[in-house]
Amino acid sequence: MSILINENTRLIVQGITGHEGSFHAHQMLTYGTNIVAGVTPGKGGEWVLDGKVPVFDSVKTAVDVSGANTSVIFVPARFAADAIYEAIDANVELIVCITEGIPVKEMTQITQILKGSRSRLIGPNSPGIISPPYTKVGIIPSTITQPGSVGVVSRSGTLTYEVVYALKQAGIGTSTCVGIGGDAIVGSRFVDVLSHFEGDPQTDMVVMIGEIGGQDEEIAANFIGTNLSKPVIGFIAGQAAPPDKRMGHAGAIIESGVGTAEAKIAALKDAGVKVASYPEEIPGLIENLRAIH
């Protein structure tokens, strides 16, 4: 078992003929992901990845022909919102948007449309999802993971890589790793992913990687305290960041004292979460919790 993606995932790559889309599609295919189609307007009828994957002009046609249920988006920011709309219109169940820089106004409109659709969006500005050992959707390097029972959900792509690799180095595997994206407005929040982990029999523990800015971690802490039965280990990036200054991600800005690292850490601890002081501490906390449980 895993969450969101598995051996039944049938993937479309939107922007498959571009440099980024082509490179990462090859990486995903090599890992074992079932890529059934690519989409690039104007290039329908071509075949890519050594003739293994057909290209279509539209997502709807690709879905109708291939039976795809998942899409990953590698298109420039100015086209990314339209790419998301197209996937929603085609009733794609899971949409993963790697693109960063989509305007907040467009993302606000997209989140409203998602509420009345059959689609779930991960991202934008997401590294994607990986469920070792055979399925990944996005750009998370396959070499830093191994199969296991620890679920990982993160706002930071770089910290995702660092933590997952630290787990592997300690002999700890992951069930699924989900990067929800670091923008101010994203399609899925911590709570959405945590609820999936709660229902996943393969996941016995969760690592949640947050950062300063917004209140998503505080909302997640409330959910953990009242709805999650599995142990959670947390880490909040940006503890040394100066106030009222954006650090890295579009969502990582503290305004009027809201979204500070101190507030997030306090909320998580109140919910019973073990909070690491630095990423390399996480494997040890996992081993300690396993010894207790």
Q: For position 238, what pLDDT does the model report?
A: 80
pLDDT digits (tens, 9 = 90+) for 109-138: 999 999 999 999 999 999 999 999 999 999
Is residue 157, in this structure, part of any structural domain at all? Answer: yes
Mean pLDDT of 39-48: 98
Banded model confidence at residue 224, pLDDT cuts 50, 70, 90: very high
Statement to judge: residues 177 and 259 lie in one domain: yes
Domain extent for 25: 11-122
Mean pLDDT of 24-40: 98
CATH of the domain at 173: 3.40.50.261
Banded model confidence at residue 245, pLDDT cuts 50, 70, 90: low
Q: For position 255, what pLDDT does the model report?
A: 52
122, 155, 177 - which closes a domain = 122
pLDDT higher than threshold 70 for residue 257: no
Query: Catalytic residues, which ones?
Result: 249
Is residue 68, in this structure, part of any structural domain at all? Answer: yes
Statement to judge: residues 118 and 149 lie in one domain: no
Is residue 6, in this structure, part of any structural domain at all? Answer: no
Look over the chain and give the mean of its residue pLDDT values, rounded to a whole number. Answer: 93
pLDDT higher than threshold 90 for residue 244: no
pLDDT higher than threshold 80 for residue 66: yes
Q: For position 146, what pLDDT does the model report?
A: 97
Q: For position 2, what pLDDT does the model report?
A: 83
- Three-class DSSP category at 264: helix
Q: How far apart are CA 132 and CA 177, in angstroms?
A: 9
Is residue 42, in this structure, part of any structural domain at all? Answer: yes
Statement to judge: residues 237 and 263 lie in one domain: yes
Is residue 26, in this structure, part of any structural domain at all? Answer: yes
The winner for highest mean pLDDT among 68-72, 238-242, 288-292 is 68-72
Is residue 145, in this structure, part of any structural domain at all? Answer: yes
Statement to judge: residues 87 and 202 lie in one domain: no
Is residue 2, in this structure, part of any structural domain at all? Answer: no
Q: How far apart are CA 146 and CA 164, in angstroms?
A: 9
b (16+ CB within 10 A) / e for 1-37: ebbbbeeebbbbbbbbbbeebbebbbbbbebebbbbb
Is residue 210, in this structure, part of any structural domain at all? Answer: yes
Statement to judge: residues 85 and 183 lie in one domain: no
Q: Based on the structure, what is the number of domains in the chain?
A: 2
pLDDT higher than threshold 80 for residue 240: no
pLDDT higher than threshold 60 for residue 253: no
Statement to judge: residues 76 and 49 lie in one domain: yes
Q: How far apart are CA 114 and CA 15, in angstroms?
A: 21
Q: For position 223, what pLDDT does the model report?
A: 97
* pTM, 2 dp: 0.94
Mean pLDDT of 101-107: 95
DSSP code, position 133? T
Query: Among candidates 21, 4, 33, which has minimal Cα distance to 178?
Result: 4
Statement to judge: residues 282 and 174 lie in one domain: yes
pLDDT digits (tens, 9 = 90+) for 174-219: 999 999 999 989 999 999 999 999 999 999 999 999 999 889 999 9
CATH of the domain at 20: 3.40.50.720
Least confident residue range of 67-81, 160-174, 228-242? 228-242
